[in-house]
Structure 1
């Protein structure tokens, strides 16, 4: 349970923003934070509100793969144009590799080789001279409700406008419908459009294991609908956080969303409801079969 001192200071911060005549404080969040609320309010509370935060389980292998690949593709653009070869990308995977979460050294080496092969194949189709507008670029967007900040894997400056590119390393290839429905991609596009004053409606999911690209072209109206969706989530989360400021972990606004994803949750050790949903998945389970894992457990 949160300490009285912590609850009192949090409550006071909320009260100060509600004084008559003062503008309402914007709800600050990233797309991943908003989706964490949608996925499971209990996990959201433990991850973002509880202090001290409950200890999370160690990183899983599929996350280690994703982080290493993302880092390699980021660092590749820091090389001189003449050094940006597919083989250089493979070497960057090797030097950025993370051993955490694998069953053993042999499995780690097997997946490092796979990741190197995937990055090599992907970079064969990337023009090293076409410098993106942004790599791991932080973008932000403010509305009357929300102050949003997130990080785009790659932001391309193309003749018909900006394009948001997101790398994926999961076993299952994303579809065009995944690109269409993705809340983070839409919010990144809206933020980039506002920041750079250039039209940005195209979002792409680049899946390295298959080499496929899932694409969606938004419109101004569809981006507005996604912003409205984000604001609705933010309002719900704000109300819950205000209740938390009053009641701490006794608040009833953070139920566990019990289901198969509980087997993957980083905080299941602190959630009896989640533990009852089934045995915990191993650190390398996502490498062995196409399965759904929590969105907060992925590199987005």
Structure 2
């Protein structure tokens, strides 16, 4: 069984190896909540249908097609959410569809990617999700829809990790290089494009190699103090931020590493 790694996990490792160890190797629970709102899920599904199911015999769909897709995925929302979602999708249509000569059928929508990397006799299974992948003349563009009210860009270091990991996985999946990773903010109509390079991939490969050594020998999980410590749910166990850290609780689950290496 391969050791699964995702952008979220690798970003956590890059922030602090010790927090990564507690969360993913010791399996300590946290109070963090990850999830999408019902409105956000419905918007993503409607956009997936809009680009996936359009017949492409005509260069552009009209606004009625967008309304049709929204109706298919908004049935469980409140009236206010339905109205808000319709407005967001209309803005999307006029910002990214209506002003085009023709829209191109995407390579894929709402899918998963996988890739593999062998390091230190350990096989890593790279996993990830995407909203849309478009084929460009010189590579691929991965588009990530952002439906939240927050339009602040992610930390540049975390973006570099995400770009590198997707570069590696998409190259194996589609045999094409990632050219751009684009964030598309649905509420504002902004699209922020990040160029992807071989250097991003090489940096991620280096990070995974570093992680593999720590996993292989189960040491070197020192904390990296920084701004993230203020909101870290593992601070009470960390000597870098707590004078008298609490002892780690007993954990009976086995690490993925034992399963992979079969030691």
Aligned to 1:236: 210
> Cα RMSD between the aligned structures?
4.2
Matched, 1:87 2:67: yes
Q: 1:119 to 1:241 in 2, by over 3 A?
A: farther
Query: Whose strand fraction is larger, Structure 1's or Structure 2's?
Result: 2
CA contact (8 A) 2:138 2:179 kept: no
Residues 10-29 of structure 1 mapped to structure 2, 5 A cutoff: 28-29=4-5
Q: Give the superposition deviation at 1:273.
A: 6.2
Query: Whose helix fraction is larger, Structure 1's or Structure 2's?
Result: 1
Q: Could you list the runs of 5+ residues in structure 1 that have no partner in the other structure?
A: 1-24, 98-107, 245-250, 278-300
Aligned to 2:91: 121
Residues 39-50 of structure 1 mapped to structure 2, 5 A cutoff: 39-50=15-26
Size of the aligned set, in residue pairs, is 225
CA contact (8 A) 1:69 1:115 kept: yes
Q: Secondary structure at the match of 1:182?
A: helix
The Cα offsets for residues 42-100 of structure 1, whole Å up to 9 and x where unpaired, read as: 4423432234x52544557x766544433332344454547972223443563465xxx
2:10 to 4, 24, 34: 34
State how far apart, in whole Å, the 1-side matches of 2:215 and 2:85 are. 40
State how far apart, in whole Å, the 2-side matches of 1:76 and 1:261 are. 42
Q: 1:227 to 1:56 in 2, by over 3 A?
A: same
Matched, 1:272 2:236: yes
Matched, 1:136 2:110: yes
Q: Secondary structure at the match of 2:188?
A: coil
Q: Give the superposition deviation at 1:35.
A: 0.7
Q: Secondary structure at the match of 1:238?
A: helix
Q: Give the superposition deviation at 1:150.
A: 1.9
The Cα offsets for residues 136-160 of structure 1, whole Å up to 9 and x where unpaired, read as: 2322333443542322221112344
Aligned to 1:288: none
CA contact (8 A) 1:154 1:166 kept: yes
